[in-house]
Structure 1
Amino acid sequence: MRMNPTTSSSGVATLDKKNLGRIAQIIGPVLDVAFPLDKMPNIYNALVVKGQDTVGQPINVTCEVQQLLGNNRVRAVAMSATDSLTRGMDVIDTGAPLSVPVGGATLGRIFNVLGKPIDNLGPVDNGTTFPIDRSAPAFIQLDTKLSIFETGIKVVDLLAPYRRGGKIGLFGGAGVGKTVLIMELINNIAKAHGGVSVFGGVGERSREGNDLYMEMKESGVINEQNIAESKVALVYGQMNEPPGARMRVGLTALTMAEYFRDVNEQEVLLFVDNIFRFVQAGSEVSALLGRMLNCNVGLSICMWLSFDECDLLCVYSHATYMYIINLHMFFLGFFLIFLQ
C-alpha cells in the first residue's frame, strides 16, 4: 500500500530520534534485524546500517523492510552490497520510507535508487523530497475520458496512437531504433506540450546507460551548458546492483514523474527500460523472502506482480489535470516464457 504524498528535508528521513536494532542474520542482500518489541518498524520503512569495516572504511547501507517475521524481527532488502556487514551491527529505523529528490533540479541529472546523484556533477540543489511509497490517485481524481496524445511522429499517430495516461510497450532487439524514438518523443513532449520526461533504467548494463546519456547530450535533450534547460531526468538501477535496488528503482523514477504531474502540473513521459529486468529483480527478491510460489516461471512472476509490484504498473493512472504516459521497453524473450 503506497502512502500519501509528503515532503521531507532529507533523502532518507531524519535520524534524530534513533530507533536502534541489531543485525541477527545476513542472507546475501537480505537482512534479518531484531528490534525492541515496542519499536518495531513498519513495512517499507527505510533502515540504515552505519559503521566501519575491518580496515576502517565507512559503511552506509540502506535497506527497506519487507516482512515482519515475529519474535521481534523484521526482514529487509538491502539497496547496496552487504559484503562488509556483520551480525550484531546497529541498524537505525528512520521511521519513514525511502525518499528521493523531486522537481526541476532533477532534470539533466542521473540518480540511483536512493535519489543520490551518480553523474559526478555535485549534489542536487533541491530541498524537496517525496517518499517512493504512496497511494495511487483516488477514483474521483481519475479522468475516464479517452484522448489521444499526439507524438508528432506521423506513423505512430496514424497506426498506433498513444493514449494520454496510458501504457505503451516498445518491442525490439538491439539497433532497431528504440533509442531514436525515445529521443524524438522527449523532444516533442517538451516543445509541443511543455512537458518533461523521466527515464528509469532498470537492470540494464552500465555501458548502455552511459551510451544513452551521451546520446542525450549530443541531441540536446540534456543541456550541458544550462542543466536546468534539460528535458529529462535519469534514474539508474544497473545490472551490477543488488536485486533490491533494481526492484525499487522503477518506483524512484515514478515518484519523480508524479511530482511533475501533480505539483508542476506538467505532462510527463515515463520510460522504463526494461520491464523484464524489473520483474526479474522482483523474482529474485521473492525467492530470498520465501515467496517462490511454484516451479512455473511465468505463473510465479505473474503472482509476484499481482501481490507486490502492481503499484508500478497501475499508479500511472491519469488524474483530471495532467497525465503520465508510460512507455515500457520489452525484451522479446520474456514473452516466450509465457507462451511456452
Structure 2
Amino acid sequence: MSIKTEEISSLIKKQLANYQDTISVEETGTVTYVGDGVARADGLENAMAGELLEFDNGVYGMAQNLESNNVGIVVLGDYTGIREGDTVKRTGRIMEVPVGDALLGRVVDPLGRPIDGLGEIKTDKTRPIEKKAPDVMERKSVSEPLQTGIKVIDALVPIGRGQRELIIGDRKTGKTSIAIDTIINQKDQDMICIYVAIGQKESTVRAAVETLRRYGALDYTIVVSASASNPAPLLYIAPYAGAAMGEEFMYNGRDVLIIYDDLSKQADAYRELSLILRRPPGREAYPGDIFYTHSRLLERAARLSDDLGGGSMTALPIIQTQAGDVSAYIPTNVISITDGQIFLNADSFYAGQRPAIDAGTSVSRVGGDAQVKAMKKVSGTLRLDIASYNELASFAQFGSDLDAATQAKLARGERTVEVLKQGLHQPQPVEQQVVTLYALGHGYLDSLPVDDILRFESELANFMRANHQDLYDQIKSTGKLPEGDALDQAISSFKDTFETSDQKKSTAADQDESQEAEN
C-alpha cells in the first residue's frame, strides 16, 4: 500500500488552515450532589460569590456557598437533568440580567427571558442583579410626590419619589389592587413601572397583565414573574433582577416605581434554599442573614443627587401577615427597613371599606415633605377626624342620647369614611381629590345623606371638568388652592343643582301623580 505525497501535503495544509494558537483554559468542577434546586460541586476553587456557572445540559446556576471543599450552587432552572458526576464550568460573569427600553411592555422571568410569547427581546445591555446601594452623599431628600390616585393614600400616607413604603396586610385584603392602581395612575407621568410577581399563580399574573394592558399601563411597565411553579432560586433572585432593571433607568435620570409582590414568599424561598444548603437556621428557621437579604434590596431604592442625574427608584414592597400580626419576624424586619407602611385591615375590608387602609396604623415618614400644599391643607385634620369618629362610634352604640356636638362629629366622621372609599382601578388625579376633600372639610357634604356621597363626588368632578377646568388646572400646575372664593362658589353652585335620592324619588312621584291626573 503506497501513500501519495499529494495526499499527505493536502492533509498537512488542511491541519495548518485550522490551526489556532490560542489555548482555551476553563476551570471546571464535578457535581457531587443535586436535589431540590441545589447542587454541590468540587474543583471550582476560584469561583466567586454570585458567579454564573454552566452545567453540561446548558442550565445555569449561581454560586452561593463557597466552602473549603465544595461550592453550593442554586440551579436557575430545571435541575432534574443534572446528574452526579456531571461537569460544571465557570463563566467568569457575576449573575446579570438584560436591561433597557426593549423590556418595556414585556413579561419576563427573573433571568430576563421573555415568557409572553412576543418573541426575543433585543437588547445588548446587562446589569448585575446585586449592586451596592447608593451612598448617603449620592442621594438627595425626597421632595417630589408620587401620586397613587388613591385618596386615602395621597391624603394620609403620601409617597414621595425615592421612598420605600411597605404595603402590609392579610391575604385577600387588596394589597395587589393598590399596587396595580398605582401603576395605572402613572400614565402620562413619565414614570417607568416594574411589577415583580413572586410565588403567585400564573393565572393571577396573567390577570394583572391583562388589567395593565386594558388601562394602557403595560406600555411603560416591565413585569417580572417568578411563579409558584418555578424553583425556589428563581423566586429568590426575582426582586434583585427587577431592581437591576430599574437601576438602568434610575441612573439615566428617569423615575422608576418598583413593586415587590410579595417579599414574604421571597423570604420563604430563601429559607428553603438556605436549609438545603445546610446553613444554620435561626428564628422561625429563617437564616441569620434574612434581614440583610431584604435590606440590601430595599436600600437600592433612592432619589439620586443631581450629579448622578437626579433619577429615582420608589419601592413598594408587599408583605403578607397572618391574622393581622405585624409583630411577626418578617413583617417587623421589613417595617424597620422601609420609610413607613400602609396597613390593610381585614375587618374594614369585610365591612365594605375599600381600600381597607387603617389610618391609625399606617404612616409615611417622608412622603409629607413631597405632598402638594393644596393636599396638605385639605387633609390636615383628616387623620384626627377619623380617629375621633372611630372612638365616638364605639361609645355611641351603647348610648341613645347624644348631644348635638357629638352627633355632628359622628355625622362628619361617617361622611369622611364614605368619601375615602374608592372603586377598583379608578385612580383619581390629585386636583380632583383636593376638590373632594375641600368640599368635605368645608361642610358641603354635611347635609347630604351618606348613601349619596359617592354620587355627589362623581357628579361634582364631572361638573368641575365641564365648567371650571381652569380651577383644576390651577391646582395641578401650582400645587396650591385657588385664591379667593372661586372654589367655594363653584362647589356651592353645583350643590344647589344636586338632587339627593329622596328628592329624586319625590320628583318622580310628583311626575307620576301629574301624569295620572292628566290621564
With the length of structure 1 as denominator, give the TM-score of the two structures: 0.82
In the other structure, the counterpart of 1:317 is 302
State the distance in 2 between where 1:161 and 1:124 align.
36
In the other structure, the counterpart of 1:275 is 263
State the distance in 2 between where 1:100 and 1:17 align.
26
Alpha-carbon displacement from aligned partner over 1:193-243 (angstroms, at most 9, x marks no partner): x11100101111111111111212222212xxxxxxx01001011111111
- 1:86: Cα distance to partner? 0.5
1:289 alignment partner, one of 274, 277, 285: 277
In the other structure, the counterpart of 1:13 is none
Structure 1 unaligned residues grouped into runs of 5+: 1-15, 52-59, 223-229
In the other structure, the counterpart of 2:65 is 67
1:99 alignment partner, one of 96, 102, 105: 96
Deviates more, 1:117-126 or 1:317-326: 317-326
Contact 2:170 2:324 (C-alpha < 8 Å) held by counterparts: no
SS in 2 for 1:113: coil
Identity of aligned residues (%): 22
- 1:318: Cα distance to partner? 2.5
Alpha-carbon displacement from aligned partner over 1:275-300 (angstroms, at most 9, x marks no partner): 11011111111211222433x41xx5
SS in 1 for 2:81: coil
In the other structure, the counterpart of 2:26 is 18
1:125 alignment partner, one of 122, 125, 138: 122
SS in 2 for 1:317: coil
SS in 2 for 1:303: coil
- 1:170: Cα distance to partner? 2.3
> RMSD over aligned Cα, in angstroms?
2.3
SS in 1 for 2:88: strand
Residue 225 (structure 2) pairs with residue 236 (structure 1) = yes
Contact 2:62 2:73 (C-alpha < 8 Å) held by counterparts: yes
Asked which structure has the greater RCO (Cα within 8 Å, sep 6+), the reply is: 1
Residue correspondence of structure 1 range 82-231 to structure 2 within 5 A: 82-144=79-141, 146-172=143-169, 176-192=173-189, 194-222=190-218, 230-231=219-220
SS in 2 for 1:80: coil
SS in 2 for 1:24: strand
Q: Which entry has the higher C-alpha Rg, 1 or 2?
A: 2
State the distance in 1 between where 2:278 and 2:75 align.
16
- 1:172: Cα distance to partner? 4.5
- 1:152: Cα distance to partner? 4.0
Higher strand share: 1
Residue type of the alignment partner of 1:319: L
State the distance in 2 between where 1:89 and 1:111 align.
29
- 1:81: Cα distance to partner? 2.4
Deviates more, 1:104-113 or 1:281-290: 281-290
- 1:112: Cα distance to partner? 0.8
- 1:153: Cα distance to partner? 3.5
In the other structure, the counterpart of 1:54 is none
Contact 1:276 1:334 (C-alpha < 8 Å) held by counterparts: no
Residue type of the alignment partner of 2:67: L
SS in 2 for 1:42: coil
State the distance in 1 between where 2:130 and 2:168 align.
29
With the length of structure 2 as denominator, give the TM-score of the two structures: 0.55
Contact 2:183 2:193 (C-alpha < 8 Å) held by counterparts: yes
Contact 2:200 2:226 (C-alpha < 8 Å) held by counterparts: yes
Residue 56 (structure 2) pairs with residue 50 (structure 1) = yes
SS in 2 for 1:167: coil
Contact 2:199 2:266 (C-alpha < 8 Å) held by counterparts: yes
State the distance in 1 between where 2:41 and 2:323 align.
35
Structure 2 unaligned residues grouped into runs of 5+: 1-23, 330-519
Alpha-carbon displacement from aligned partner over 1:258-315 (angstroms, at most 9, x marks no partner): 111112x111110111111011111111211222433x41xx5483323444321222
Higher helix share: 2
1:249 alignment partner, one of 234, 238, 246: 238
Alpha-carbon displacement from aligned partner over 1:146-177 (angstroms, at most 9, x marks no partner): 55433343332111101321112223456654
With over 3 angstroms needed to count, the CA separation of the structure-2 counterparts of 1:304 and 1:317, relative to structure 1, is: same
Residue type of the alignment partner of 2:133: A
Alpha-carbon displacement from aligned partner over 1:35-70 (angstroms, at most 9, x marks no partner): 254xx210100111133xxxxxxxx32111111111
- 1:20: Cα distance to partner? 1.9
State the distance in 2 between where 1:137 and 1:324 align.
11
Residue type of the alignment partner of 2:278: G
Residue type of the alignment partner of 1:134: K
Residue type of the alignment partner of 1:69: E
